[in-house]
Structure 1
Amino acid sequence: MTGRIPENVKNVITFMTDQHRIDTLGCLGNVHAHTQNIDSLAEEGCIFAKGFTPSAICTPARASMLTGQLPFKHQTLANPEWNIAYSTAIPETDWTYTQALRDHGYNVGMVGKYHCGTNLPDKFGCDDDTFWGAENPVANEQYVAWLEENELPPVKAHEFWRGKLPGNRDGHILAARLDQPEEATFERFIADRSIARLRQYAAEYKESGKPFSLDVHFFGPHLPYFLPDEWFDLIDPNDIVLPESFGDSLIAKPKVQQNYATYWSTSSFNTEEWKKLIAVYWGYVAMIDFEIGRILDAARELGLMDDTAMFFTADHGEFTGAHRLNDKGPAMYDDIYRIPFIARIPGLTHGEKRDEYVSLIDIPATIMDIAGIDPAKVEDGRSLVPLLAGEVPEDWRQNMVCEFHGLHFPIQQRMLRTDDYKLVISHESINELYDLKHDPFELNNLYTAPAFDEVRREMAAELYTQLKERGDSSFAKWMAAMTEFDIPLSNTARSDWDDVAK
């Protein structure tokens, strides 16, 4: 074990939300947020301001965290519900950090959302308290039985918010008022299951010293936002400032972005309605924070806070009106690729904030380090412990590369993001270049602007080089043929005919 981690810190609790924007948290600057419990983790931990997901889609992002591999390697690349012929199951023979912990003598549990494909977490060393799907599975028989046992009302809702599709047809439901108290919500159900598993693990830890790792994965604040009145109306819409990119024309950008805006009916709502929808989204975050507080209270009661590292993160972000879009999908804006990222290790973190680029896959590498297992077993992630100790390795990443493979349809995109610029290369149509210093909300696509020719070529060469080094050779070969930079095509994946052509 790295000497900088206190010897008593053995246990880990990882909180993960779904589709969670970074601007919803008090610790990240939202003065109207009701997130005191997540903020308390930041006060005792470290905020990584440049946390990114490897892919802004649930299944590939979560599969990357579990396997420690980039999406193009594990190839579980699309959500099973909208599969487009990709694999929908992580092979049982794949390495996972959860199985590594189990083999190392840990209790390992996962509660809540799974969504890593059709092989469930019990195949990967976990005690399985998970539920399958993209949204809260409110018809699940275990949840229904829990409601009945606790004499709580069944799921029912009213005041459905939905836009209009072409032909004036009803669009997707985005929000609704839930005719249940908070005590009956699926979020409370997940928290109760988590606390029960935590009590079991804590007892074994106190009796025999057996450490544990517990993942708590909430389905929210993924849309649709079904909330009790208390949380639906918690945030005053007058306190909402619309996203700076709310009025994005999407001109000179890939046509798929406009199509996606149509798919989600984003033009159906006026400004005041959008403010209410965003307020409801923040209310959803607040309700999840409340449940996290209940779990933290249980950890305090059990005397675990000094021995337990904690992480808070999300699989990806959400648009919620940014760029006139909703959900997530075929666009590589920071709104969906940046994620909340907090690491709390007792005795090591004390409320810091760091600006290094970090990835979701760095969390399992850090957990390996805490457990005394070589973090290099996480193939594409790195332990955060040196950064948390105030040291920056010379070879720490200076930028971030992300990937997208499609959701409802196949579409390939790769992104290189630096402090100053972002480059997005697409097979589908239009490439994108943004000057983040002068256009931080990514409104103006400068890819074809002559003044940025040199920047574009340098960014493209750097992205190509990193893709080659990673082994993402198929996309790199496309780049070499279709992107203007000073790298010859013969430097891509070679064939026997290359020598003949010389």
Structure 2
Amino acid sequence: MTDGQRTNILFLMTDQHRTDTLGAYGNPCGITPVLDDLARTGTRFDRWYTPTAICTPARVSLLTGQAPFRHRVLANRERNVGYLEDLDPGTFTFVDALRDHGYNTGLVGKWHAGAQQEARDAGFDGPELPGSAWHNPVEAQDYLDHLAEHGLPPYEISDRIRGTLPNGGPGNLLAARLHQPLEATFEHYLATRTIELLETYAEDLRRGATPFFLQLNFFGPHLPYVLPDEYFDLIDPSQVELPRSIAETFAAKPPVQANYSAHWTFDTMPIETTRKLIAVYWGYVAMIDHEIGRVMEALERLGLTDDTAVFFSSDHGEFTGSHRLHDKGPAMYEDIYRTAGLLRVPGGAAGQVREEFVSLLDCTATILDLAGLDPSPAVDSRSLLPLARGEHPEWDEDIVCEFHGHHFPYPQRMLRTDRYKLVVNPDSVNELYDLHTDPDELLNVHGHPEMAEVRRKLTTRLYRRLRDRGDNFYHWMTTMFEVGEVDYDPTQSGLDESTYAAEAR
């Protein structure tokens, strides 16, 4: 591949997917051979983070190359707490740029990047599916037509797993057994529709040299984990090693975390149920890997493998019992902020592991770069192509993430360095974790006297990075913490001086 060449792009994306479910990232059960092969033939990023661990703002960041605070679509529609629900008209997206550059652009699966605007409105080909569902939209007409066309049975579940809410009501559905064969699952349907669109694009490419961008977005392994027998029972729960952070006490932690634990009913279920939930979650990942394999086989059959860049990532992670939590929420732990990131590009390095701090946000500039387009409109994004090619450019030694709320407004900012993580929680205690000695983030050392110098340096660094980005969260930090020299007057005392001068006259 040479600069300026228009490369085909296949973007594979899951929802709420833990990094440690992939063999390439250490899972011992061999459940992801397809994604592990992608890591073997491309680049595995070990420090790949989501800009925010919530579906819609993370997906809009990928679309625009803008951090959430900048694009301002900050919450999922179903739990919106008063933020924008759609991008402002005229906002730059990589889809518009690719289409203007002669690309076919398709998206099959979960959209969830707006309320009024759907994937088709944004310039994507593909089947019409509900845009804001957090689970498989099994009532979508195109899926029902697919079942009818192939004589497949309808969606039906049993063996539901759920806890009890603080008010005594039944908790959210966490998992269930699906009474359909694999061929009838929504995941199989999505892979089938992706292969069909890939075949159409391959023909366009052959006839008119029209390159393509094709994105396959699974709704899973987001809860509820609804799987047919062969995957619901694939993993023996006794094989599952429980995360050490199940020992979480929430001591010296923001109280919201214990509240979220109650909301997700962790303590109302026996530990055997938690172990089974993790086993079923791994089974879900295995099923998705199988369906990705079908798409990768089609790519090879169509002769596109050598000319197509392939991405794999997710919008964010999942707790699955870690820190006595499920889902995601106002807790900036590695479980939900660090995600898998794989990238294979034509002519790129094979089997390499990169330790630079990178982000889902960086995919936007990378997509533009692969298309031979200027990546600079993706203002908070940086192309990963030099890293994927085995080069060693200068790179930031830390990364900033943000959160704005889910169910209720809850602003947070995070700085992650090689060793430490700082989380600023304006309404509560701040958090500081030494990830070398405490990788499970159980001990908040923010208030420990011996951490004073580390705390000061990290706070100053976060403050400066937020100011440089234009994220107004820094205003809170200016008056509340030691942030070093500032070049403006946060107290607006100049107004007092002007008043005094007028009175003196």
TM-score by length of 2: 0.95
CA distance in 2, matches of 1:129, 1:499: 63
CA distance in 1, matches of 2:424, 2:392: 30
CA distance in 1, matches of 2:449, 2:411: 26
CA distance in 1, matches of 2:280, 2:491: 49
Amino acid at match of 2:443: N
Structure 1, 321-330 or 383-392: larger mean CA deviation: 383-392
CA distance in 2, matches of 1:314, 1:500: 53
Partner of 1:376: 376
Amino acid at match of 1:165: L
Counterpart selection for 2:478 from 477, 480, 493: 480
Residue 355 (str. 1) matches residue 377 (str. 2): no
Amino acid at match of 2:327: D
Asked whether the equivalents of residues 347 and 389 of structure 2 are also in contact (C-alpha less than 8 Å), the reply is no
Partner of 1:422: 421
Partner of 2:118: 120
Amino acid at match of 2:440: F
Partner of 1:36: 33
Partner of 2:408: 409
Give CA deviations for 1:63-110 in whole Å, capped at 9, x if unaligned.
000011000000000000111111111123110001100000000111
TM-score by length of 1: 0.96
- C-alpha change, 1:488 and 1:372, in structure 2 (3 Å) is closer
Partner of 2:503: none
Partner of 1:467: 466
Asked whether the equivalents of residues 110 and 130 of structure 1 are also in contact (C-alpha less than 8 Å), the reply is no
Give CA deviations for 1:255-295 in whole Å, capped at 9, x if unaligned.
10000000000112222221111000000000000110011
SS at match of 1:16: strand
SS at match of 2:171: strand
Aligned residues: 497
Amino acid at match of 2:474: A
Partner of 1:317: 317
Deviation at 1:499, TM superposition (A): 6.6
Deviation at 1:376, TM superposition (A): 1.6
Structure 1, 42-51 or 87-96: larger mean CA deviation: 87-96
Deviation at 1:487, TM superposition (A): 4.0
Give CA deviations for 1:109-168 in whole Å, capped at 9, x if unaligned.
111000001211223222143522211111112211211121111111001000011254
CA distance in 1, matches of 2:464, 2:396: 14
Matches within 5 A, 1:325-364: 325-364=325-364
Partner of 1:143: 143
- C-alpha change, 1:431 and 1:290, in structure 2 (3 Å) is same
Deviation at 1:496, TM superposition (A): 6.7
Counterpart selection for 2:20 from 18, 23, 41: 23
Deviation at 1:209, TM superposition (A): 0.9
Deviation at 1:490, TM superposition (A): 3.9
Deviation at 1:460, TM superposition (A): 0.4
Partner of 1:60: 57
Partner of 1:98: 95
- C-alpha change, 1:49 and 1:293, in structure 2 (3 Å) is same
Asked whether the equivalents of residues 163 and 269 of structure 1 are also in contact (C-alpha less than 8 Å), the reply is yes
Partner of 2:157: 157
SS at match of 1:13: strand
Asked whether the equivalents of residues 481 and 489 of structure 1 are also in contact (C-alpha less than 8 Å), the reply is no
Partner of 2:67: 70
CA distance in 2, matches of 1:379, 1:499: 39
CA distance in 1, matches of 2:389, 2:493: 47
Deviation at 1:423, TM superposition (A): 0.4
Amino acid at match of 1:62: R
Partner of 2:439: 440
Deviation at 1:354, TM superposition (A): 0.6
Residue 207 (str. 1) matches residue 207 (str. 2): yes
Q: Give the share of equivalent positions with the same residue, in percent.
A: 51
- C-alpha change, 1:39 and 1:499, in structure 2 (3 Å) is farther
Asked whether the equivalents of residues 250 and 257 of structure 2 are also in contact (C-alpha less than 8 Å), the reply is yes
Give CA deviations for 1:407-432 in whole Å, capped at 9, x if unaligned.
10001000000011100001221110
Matches within 5 A, 1:187-206: 187-206=187-206
Deviation at 1:497, TM superposition (A): 3.0
CA distance in 1, matches of 2:343, 2:493: 45
Structure 1, 269-278 or 79-88: larger mean CA deviation: 269-278
Partner of 1:180: 180
Amino acid at match of 2:317: G
Deviation at 1:169, TM superposition (A): 2.5
CA distance in 2, matches of 1:46, 1:210: 27
- C-alpha change, 1:337 and 1:493, in structure 2 (3 Å) is farther
Asked whether the equivalents of residues 92 and 123 of structure 1 are also in contact (C-alpha less than 8 Å), the reply is no
Amino acid at match of 2:136: N
Deviation at 1:10, TM superposition (A): 1.3
CA distance in 1, matches of 2:174, 2:499: 56
Deviation at 1:337, TM superposition (A): 0.2
Structure 1, 137-146 or 418-427: larger mean CA deviation: 137-146
SS at match of 2:162: strand
CA distance in 1, matches of 2:431, 2:141: 46
CA distance in 1, matches of 2:2, 2:452: 45
Asked whether the equivalents of residues 237 and 279 of structure 2 are also in contact (C-alpha less than 8 Å), the reply is yes
Amino acid at match of 2:45: F
SS at match of 1:340: strand
Partner of 2:256: 256
- C-alpha change, 1:285 and 1:500, in structure 2 (3 Å) is farther
SS at match of 2:391: coil
CA distance in 2, matches of 1:109, 1:495: 55
